[in-house]
Amino acid sequence: MTHSTANPADRVLRVGDHTFDSRLFVGTGKYPDLEVMKTALEASGTQCVTVAVRRLKLGVPEGKSLLDYIDRQRYVLLPNTAGCFTADDAVRTARLGREAGMSDLVKLEVLGDKDTLLPDPAGTLEAAATLVGEGFTVLCYTSDDPVVARRLEDLGVAAVMPAGAPIGSGQGILNPNNISIIIERATVPIIVDAGVGTASDVAVAMELGADGVLLNTGIALATEPVRMARAMRAACEAGRDAFLAGRIPKRRYASASSPTEGTIAFAGE
């Protein structure tokens, strides 16, 4: 049995013109080395990997570079604007990323400050408007604020990516109420981005009805990144399936799983 036949009824995820069978988006930062990253990406089953845009180091003889470890037949590149704190910087970085990657996808981040790395709403909205206007397929990192999420959808982003918790914090989904409000009102895919610490965090996000999850540190800095990548893949499939399967309601008291009738005659009966 393979997983593709195990999930016969699920539809592919569409983001702009791209379609994905895997709903996991994985970053390429912070791995012990690029070989581990390559194996972890494979284990994760992802079809889309984020990359950062940074100055080439001049005068340094070029060794192997990141892209030598990323099979572009297998993975779609998703350049990010990480490290940008203004709309203008993010737009410039996005343009460079598109030119370098020959891809229209961009993970837009306009950050508010260095302590929280949470997005700046005003800058994010401004940059999103510009990039949508320039034809980018914008996957937009944002807080878990349902109002900002809606504004971004109105601007035409291809996917809204609310933070579950601060980047790299590993705290999981801090405010499931907000995330599920965003999902319930969404007109584009919602991909939970940032904050995932372990597999159950991914499952929880998908069970809320998220269309996908993006993560990086949770895999890259785990003691065993490859095993954790496998865990994240399975958790993403588990959470998606559980969402589609329709879970039982919660009850405060018990409900027997074995028949309550037909027991043998008990002492005293």
Partner 1 sequence: MTLTVNGEATTVPTPSNVEDLLRRLRIDARQVAVERNRTLVRKTDYAATLLVAGDVLEIVSFVGGG
CA separation for the pair 128, 211 (Å, rounded): 20
Going by C-beta distance under 8 Å and a sequence separation of 6 or more, which residues neighbour residue 256?
none
Choose among a second copy, partner 1, none what residue 74 binds, the Cβ cut-off being 5 to 8 Å by kind.
none
CA separation for the pair 266, 150 (Å, rounded): 61
Candidates 167, 173, 188, 190: give the one binding partner 1 (CB under 8 A).
167
Q: How far is the CB of 93 from a second copy (least distance, A)?
A: 6
Query: Under rule CB under 8 A, which residues in 231-260 are in contact with partner 1?
Result: 257-259
Is 77 an interacting residue with respect to partner 1 (CB under 8 A)?
yes
Give the DSSP letter of residue 248.
Answer: P
How distant, in Å, are the alpha carbons of 28, 36, 48, 91 from that of 213?
15, 21, 11, 24
Q: How far is the CB of 62 from partner 1 (least distance, A)?
A: 7
CA separation for the pair 207, 113 (Å, rounded): 31
Is 129 an interacting residue with respect to partner 1 (CB under 8 A)?
no
CA separation for the pair 196, 184 (Å, rounded): 21
162 membership: H or E segment, kind and range: strand 159-162
Of 153 and 199, CB closest to partner 1: 199
User: 122: helix, coil or strand?
Assistant: helix
Of 4 and 258, CB closest to partner 1: 258
- Residue 193 bridge partners (DSSP): 214
Q: How far is the CB of 44 from partner 1 (least distance, A)?
A: 13
Q: How far is the CB of 158 from a second copy (least distance, A)?
A: 21
Residue 107 appears among annotated catalytic residues = yes
How distant, in Å, are the alpha carbons of 49, 81, 127, 169, 228 from that of 84?
19, 6, 11, 19, 29
User: 76: helix, coil or strand?
Assistant: strand
Write the binding mask 26 to 65 for partner 1: x where contact by CB under 8 A, - elsewhere.
-xxxxx--x--x------------xxxxxxxxxx--x--x
Choose among a second copy, partner 1, none what residue 66 binds, the Cβ cut-off being 5 to 8 Å by kind.
partner 1
User: 267: helix, coil or strand?
Assistant: coil
Residue with tokens 């599920």: 180
Choose among a second copy, partner 1, none what residue 203 binds, the Cβ cut-off being 5 to 8 Å by kind.
a second copy
Candidates 22, 44, 46, 80: give the one binding partner 1 (CB under 8 A).
80
Check 38, 57, 64, 107 and give the catalytic one. 107
Q: How far is the CB of 88 from a second copy (least distance, A)?
A: 5
List, by residue number, the catalytic residues.
107
Residues of the shown chain interacting with partner 1 in the complex, contacts defined by CB under 8 A: 27-31, 34, 37, 50-59, 62, 65-67, 77, 79-80, 82, 92, 95-101, 167, 214-217, 220, 257-259, 262, 264-265
